[in-house]
Structures are given as structure tokens and as C-alpha cells.
């Protein structure tokens, strides 16, 4: 009797579930969600000012404003909450969770595969662009920055307060502080100061229960995970407390190009021997692009560009380069001295000093492209024969598909792999970014560029890290695996590439803080299998 009664109860329950699922069409789901939001709205900070549905006239422009890759198909969120107050973030988490809706959290929208604003299950976008205050305390050498601030705004505000402070983060000024920092945050001061995550001292987040926590109340496990592990698997970042770093009043930059005919092979080969061992004040990035040969009818050739940031003056830089990389033939006339804030413009290929630093406050780029990015790490120098083979692949592709090599060493080698969730530390000579950019959409063009990028990546297999073939979370790449059901097995495939041995600890933190896997997306950290 007892057991058949419980079977009855069970089947009644399943019928109820089936009925409610059938009734939960997207209109009513949306209505329930909006109702729930308004139930959680505070009268002093009404949430309706932050809520956009497809019936709001600006829905589409809000949706499109923070898409930084034209390749990503038009997303289809039920609702966008462009939070204007912390309570809006709390309400969004509580209501999405209670109604079984996924959220996508977007700060600057630079995710290379659009994972901050697309999904193929019903979802809402939690947009952070309205929350972008920056409070700098120079005497404390620190700043609280909200997730929706751009990295360009941070640079500008720091420089406004001090000539001798900066912050180590990425090159592109429109990057959102929310996503950029939590993925690591990589830039040209990284050999001296490490990544952005190595310079974060506190954070404010909203957890799955809708509580606002800081470093003390969240504890060191979660604080560890959000520094490099991708916060979108755990919580919503409201703000970071960052540590400013010292920069000299004058820095030096250069960009020197060498084609194969000008001896690029020898310089690049030598660069691999020294780039990660140079003085920590010096960062020399290397870019490769196929270019036309000198004369008409000449074959395509490769141009290598050496772009450098030096935290010091030319007179100290020249002997350093002359000693370690004489093959480059660097001359005084190649070097330009400027303020640190102007060097940010130089790295954007903007003329210095004629460009006003206010361009760093522009939140939307002037032009946009269709993009694909992938990443690799290199631990052994590539032989000259290898270089020739790689360049042949690049010239055969014959399109705007290139590679950037970013030197490691310095501070990066001194920070243990387990210090933060970002694991790619000692042992690397450089990191590769593969990049394809194109200006015209269409399935055929897109497939051609994707295919070319993947072929180049395939051709690089012998020269890069193995078991796992490591990848950089901020260079989001859906090709390395994705999660359709939120299982541990699926998550492990991309998880160990992004996080190596830190993956298991991330899974434990995830299981502790979000056991029901609410903060789930295509490349999120899964919960424990059992």
C-alpha cells in the first residue's frame, strides 16, 4: 500500500511537471520573471528603469551596443536587465534561479565567442554597463572599480590622478573590467607585474543566493576562483579593488619590422631564446602577417613586427637590446619616449602625442570586424626549419589570419601555478594568439576564415604545449570543448586546457558555492560528478 501510494504521488507530480512545462511558454515565463523582479524591487531603486523586453524601443540597441564580434549571430534573450543598482543584480539572480532561467553576464561584451550574450536555452542578459564607477585612492595606491567600467576608463582615471601609477591589463581600451580581469587580464606590463588578477586585492560579488559578499565574507576559496577561473561560473562581479603599480614618468616604445628577406628568421629564432629572460621592464611582442613581396609577381612573404614596451628610458633600453638581441639592430631612432598613458595610445596605433587621451573614454570602438581567436603556449623554442614551415602555412592561407607571440618570464615565472586560478605560469616561453579578422559577413566567408584559423592551429600542434594543449580563458575558444548538459565529463575537456591542475579545485569551489549549477554556460565550471 505504502509503496503504491508513493508511486501515485510521484506520477501525479510528473503530470503536474509536464503540464506546467507545457504552459510555461516564453510569454508567461517572461511575465513571471518580470513579476518576480518587481516583487524584489526596492522603492528607492525601482528595477523597471533597468528592464528591457523586446517591446521596449531601445531593446535592440541595448542588445547590440556591447557585441564586439560581428560574427556572433543575433542573440535572443527574453529580457535584458541593465542593472543600475546592486539590488537589480540581486533580483536578477534570485528570479532567474527561482524560474529556472539561465543568465548571461556581460560587462564589456568582448568575449571572442559571444558567451556573455548568446545561448540556445531561454535566458536573460544581466548587463553591467551602467555600473561603472571608478574610485581611486592614490595614497593607498588602490582603486575600487565597478564591473561595467572599461579598462580604458581605468587607465585614464589613474593617469588623471598620478603620473607614476598604472595598472597591468589588456591593450584594447573598451575591454570590460568585469570579464577581462576575471579571465586573467594580460598586457604589456605582465613581465614586470604579472596579470590583472595578480593585482586584485578585494572584490564585491553577488552569489547564487543573492547575497553581496566581499573578500572577507566570501572567503579565500571563492576569491581564488574568480581570479582567473572566470567568475561567470560562480557569481556576479560587482566590483574589484585593484592595486595600482608604479610606472616611470617616461617609458619607451618601439615597433620594428623585419621581413624574411631582412633576416626575420634569425631575429625570431633568437627572440625565442631571450624574450622570456630579458629585464622585466622590457616586453617585446612579436606579430606575424603575410605580406606581398617587394616586386610585382613576387611570392607572398612574412613580416615580423617587434612591438615593445619598456618601463624606462631609451638610454637604458638600447644597450639591453644590443646585448640580448643584437640581430634586431635596434637603433635610437626607432625608440620613442613618452608618458605611460600615451604608450596606451601607441599600442592602439594612435599617433602620439597628438591624440588626446580622452579617446580612452570612448566605450564603443569606431570600427568592428568579424573575428575568430585561438590560443597556445610554447615551452620549447621552435627550430628555424619549424619557423619556415609555419610561415609557409601562413603565406599559403593568404588572408588576414595572423599570429601574435607574447613573451613570458619575469614575474609570471615567480608566481606559483596555484596562487590564483590562472595556471599558465613558469615554463612558458611565450603565448600565441591566433587571429582572423574579416570585414564582410556571409556563411561562406566566415567558414573560410574559421577553417583557415583552424588549419593554422592544426599546423602548430608539434610546437606547442601538450597534455593538455593549454588555452587562455580570455581568448575564448569554443572549439576546445563545450558543455551542453553541464556535466563534469564535458566540463573537464575544456576545463583542464584552460585551468590545468587548478580545474579540480575550481570544481570543488563551484560545488561549494553553486551546487545546483545555476551559474551555467557553454564553458562553465561543472559541479562534482557525485
Ligand X SMILES: *[C@@H]1O[C@H](CO)[C@@H](O)[C@H](O)[C@H]1NC(C)=O
Ligand Y SMILES: Cc1cc2nc3c(=O)[nH]c(=O)nc-3n(C[C@H](O)[C@H](O)[C@H](O)COP(=O)(O)OP(=O)(O)OC[C@H]3O[C@@H](n4cnc5c(N)ncnc54)[C@H](O)[C@@H]3O)c2cc1C
- The window from 48-56, 181-189, 241-249, 250-258 that contacts ligand X (CB under 6 A) reads 48-56
Residue whose CB is less far from ligand Y, 357 or 435: 435
Residue whose CB is less far from ligand X, 163 or 448: 448
d(CA 237, CA 148): 10
- Using rule CB under 6 A, residue 49 touches ligand X: yes
Rg (CA), the chain: 24
Residue whose CB is less far from ligand X, 56 or 461: 56
E strands of 138-218, at which residues? Answer: 142-146, 165-166, 200-206, 212-213
Annotated active-site positions, please?
475
d(CA 110, CA 122): 22
Cell match 561549494: residue? 512
Query: 520 contacts which partner out of ligand X, ligand Y, none, CB within 5 to 8 A by kind?
Result: none
Query: 175 contacts which partner out of ligand X, ligand Y, none, CB within 5 to 8 A by kind?
Result: ligand Y
- Using rule CB under 6 A, residue 398 touches ligand X: no
Q: Which residues pair with 146 in a beta bridge?
A: 239
Residue whose CB is less far from ligand Y, 146 or 314: 146
- Using rule CB under 6 A, residue 484 touches ligand X: no
Query: 56 contacts which partner out of ligand X, ligand Y, none, CB within 5 to 8 A by kind?
Result: ligand X
- Using rule CB under 6 A, residue 133 touches ligand X: no
d(CA 526, CA 479): 18
- Using rule CB under 6 A, residue 236 touches ligand Y: yes
Q: Which of 30, 41, 47, 51 binds ligand X (CB under 6 A)?
A: 51
d(CA 128, CA 205): 12
- Using rule CB under 6 A, residue 152 touches ligand Y: no
Query: 27 contacts which partner out of ligand Y, ligand X, none, CB within 5 to 8 A by kind?
Result: ligand X
For residues 156, 161, 165, 169, the Cα torsion angle rounded to the nearest 10 degrees is -30
- Using rule CB under 6 A, residue 461 touches ligand X: no
| Residues in region 50-89 near ligand Y by CB under 6 A | 68
d(CA 237, CA 496): 23
d(CA 431, CA 274): 14
Residue 366's Cβ-count burial label (10 Å; 0-12, 13-18, 19+) is exposed
d(CA 291, CA 80): 44
Q: Which of 107, 324, 465, 520 binds ligand Y (CB under 6 A)?
A: 107
- Using rule CB under 6 A, residue 446 touches ligand X: no
- Using rule CB under 6 A, residue 360 touches ligand Y: no
Q: Tell me which residue of 277, 299, 282 sits closest to 290, measured CA to CA.
A: 299
Q: Which triple of cell numbers denotes residue 300? A: 607572398
Q: What does the per-residue mask of binding to ligand X show for 199-238, with x meaning CB under 6 A?
A: ----------------------------------------
Number of residues lying near ligand X (CB under 6 A):
22
Backbone angles phi, psi at 103, to 5 degrees: -120, 150
Query: 178 contacts which partner out of ligand Y, ligand X, none, CB within 5 to 8 A by kind?
Result: ligand Y
Backbone angles phi, psi at 260, to 5 degrees: -55, -40
**Min separation Cβ 191 and ligand Y, Å:** 14
| Residues in region 281-300 near ligand X by CB under 6 A | none
Q: Which H or E run includes 307?
A: strand 301-310
- Using rule CB under 6 A, residue 28 touches ligand X: yes
- Using rule CB under 6 A, residue 170 touches ligand Y: yes
**Min separation Cβ 526 and ligand X, Å:** 29
d(CA 471, CA 476): 8
Q: Which triple of cell numbers denotes residue 444? A: 561562406
- Using rule CB under 6 A, residue 348 touches ligand X: no
- Using rule CB under 6 A, residue 35 touches ligand X: yes
- The distance of Cα 439 from the centroid of its chain, to the nearest Å, equals 22
Q: Tell me which residue of 284, 228, 266, 264 sits closest to 406, measured CA to CA.
A: 284
d(CA 380, CA 128): 41
Query: 110 contacts which partner out of ligand Y, ligand X, none, CB within 5 to 8 A by kind?
Result: ligand Y
| Residues in region 177-216 near ligand Y by CB under 6 A | 178-180, 182-187
- Using rule CB under 6 A, residue 136 touches ligand X: no
Query: 482 contacts which partner out of ligand X, ligand Y, none, CB within 5 to 8 A by kind?
Result: none
Q: What does the per-residue mask of binding to ligand X show for 302-321, with x meaning CB under 6 A?
A: ----------------xx--
Q: Which H or E run includes 302?
A: strand 301-310
- What 8-state DSSP symbol labels residue 31? H
d(CA 176, CA 436): 22
Binding-site ranges for ligand Y (CB under 6 A): 68, 104-112, 115-116, 128, 147, 170-172, 175-176, 178-180, 182-187, 230-232, 236-237, 474
Positions that interact with ligand X (CB under 6 A): 25, 27-28, 32, 35-36, 39, 48-49, 51-52, 56, 137, 139-140, 318-319, 322, 448, 451-452, 455
Amino acid at each position: 500500500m505504502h509503496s503504491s501510494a508513493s508511486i501515485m504521488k510521484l506520477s501525479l507530480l510528473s503530470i503536474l511537471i509536464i503540464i506546467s512545462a507545457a504552459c510555461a511558454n516564453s510569454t508567461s515565463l517572461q511575465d513571471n520573471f518580470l513579476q518576480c523582479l518587481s516583487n524584489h524591487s526596492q522603492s528607492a531603486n525601482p528595477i523597471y528603469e533597468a528592464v528591457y523586453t523586446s517591446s521596449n524601443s531601445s531593446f535592440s540597441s541595448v542588445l547590440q551596443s556591447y557585441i564586439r564580434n560581428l560574427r556572433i549571430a543575433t542573440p535572443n534573450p527574453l529580457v535584458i536587465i541593465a542593472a543600475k543598482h546592486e539590488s537589480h543584480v540581486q533580483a536578477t539572480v534570485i528570479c532567474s534561479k527561482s524560474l529556472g532561467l539561465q543568465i548571461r553576464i556581460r560587462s564589456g561584451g568582448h568575449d571572442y565567442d559571444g558567451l556573455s550574450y548568446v545561448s540556445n536555452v531561454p535566458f536573460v542578459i544581466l548587463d553591467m554597463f551602467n555600473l561603472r564607477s571608478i574610485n581611486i585612492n592614490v595614497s593607498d595606491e588602490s582603486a575600487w572599480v565597478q564591473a561595467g567600467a572599461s579598462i580604458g576608463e581605468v587607465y585614464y582615471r589613474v593617469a588623471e590622478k598620478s603620473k607614476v601609477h598604472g595598472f597591468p591589463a589588456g591593450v584594447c581600451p573598451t575591454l570590460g573590467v568585469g570579464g577581462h580581469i576575471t579571465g586573467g587580464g594580460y598586457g604589456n606590463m605582465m613581465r614586470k607585474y604579472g596579470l590583472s588578477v595578480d593585482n586584485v586585492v578585494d572584490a564585491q560579488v553577488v552569489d547564487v543566493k543573492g547575497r553581496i559578499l566581499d573578500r572577507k565574507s566570501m572567503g579565500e576559496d571563492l576569491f581564488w576562483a574568480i581570479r582567473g577561473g572566470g567568475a561567470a561560473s560562480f557569481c556576479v562581479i560587482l566590483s574589484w579593488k585593484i592595486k595600482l603599480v608604479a610606472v616611470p614618468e617616461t617609458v619607451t616604445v618601439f615597433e620594428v619590422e623585419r621581413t624574411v628577406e631582412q633576416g626575420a628568421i634569425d631575429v625570431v629564432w633568437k627572440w625565442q631564446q631571450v624574450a622570456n629572460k630579458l629585464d622585466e621592464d622590457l616586453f617585446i611582442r612579436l606579430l606575424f602577417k603575410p605580406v606581398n613581396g617587394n616586386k610585382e609577381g613576387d611570392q607572398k612573404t612574412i613580416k615580423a613586427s617587434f612591438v615593445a614596451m619598456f618601463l624606462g628610458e631609451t638610454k637604458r633600453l638600447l644597450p639591453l637590446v644590443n646585448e640580448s638581441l643584437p640581430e634586431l639592430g635596434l637603433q635610437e631612432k626607432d625608440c620613442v619616449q613618452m608618458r605611460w598613458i600615451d604608450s596606451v595610445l601607441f599600442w592602439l596605433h594612435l599617433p602620439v602625442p597628438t591624440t588626446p587621451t580622452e579617446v580612452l573614454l570612448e566605450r564603443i570602438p569606431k570600427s568592428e570586424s568579424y573575428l575568430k581567436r585561438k590560443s597556445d603556449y610554447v615551452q620549447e623554442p621552435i627550430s628555424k626549419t619549424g619557423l619556415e614551415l609555419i610561415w609557409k602555412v601562413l603565406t599559403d592561407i593568404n588572408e588576414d589570419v595572423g599570429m601574435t607571440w607574447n613573451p613570458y618570464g619575469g614575474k609570471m615565472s615567480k608566481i606559483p601555478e596555484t596562487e590564483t586560478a590562472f595556471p599558465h605560469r613558469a615554463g612558458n616561453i611565450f603565448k600565441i594568439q591566433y587571429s582572423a579578422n574579416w570585414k564582410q559577413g556571409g556563411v561562406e566567408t566566415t567558414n573560410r576564415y574559421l577553417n583557415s584559423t583552424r588549419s593554422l592551429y592544426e599546423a602548430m600542434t608539434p610546437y606547442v604545449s601538450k597534455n593538455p594543449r593549454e588555452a587562455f580563458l580570455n581568448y575564448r575558444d569554443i572549439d576546445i570543448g563545450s558543455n551542453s548538459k553541464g556535466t563534469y565529463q564535458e566540463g573537464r575537456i575544456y576545463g583542464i586546457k584552460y585551468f590545468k591542475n587548478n580545474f579540480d579545485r575550481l570544481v570543488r569551489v563551484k560545488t561549494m558555492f553553486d551546487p545546483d549549477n545555476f551559474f551555467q554556460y557553454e564553458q562553465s565550471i561543472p559541479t562534482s560528478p557525485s
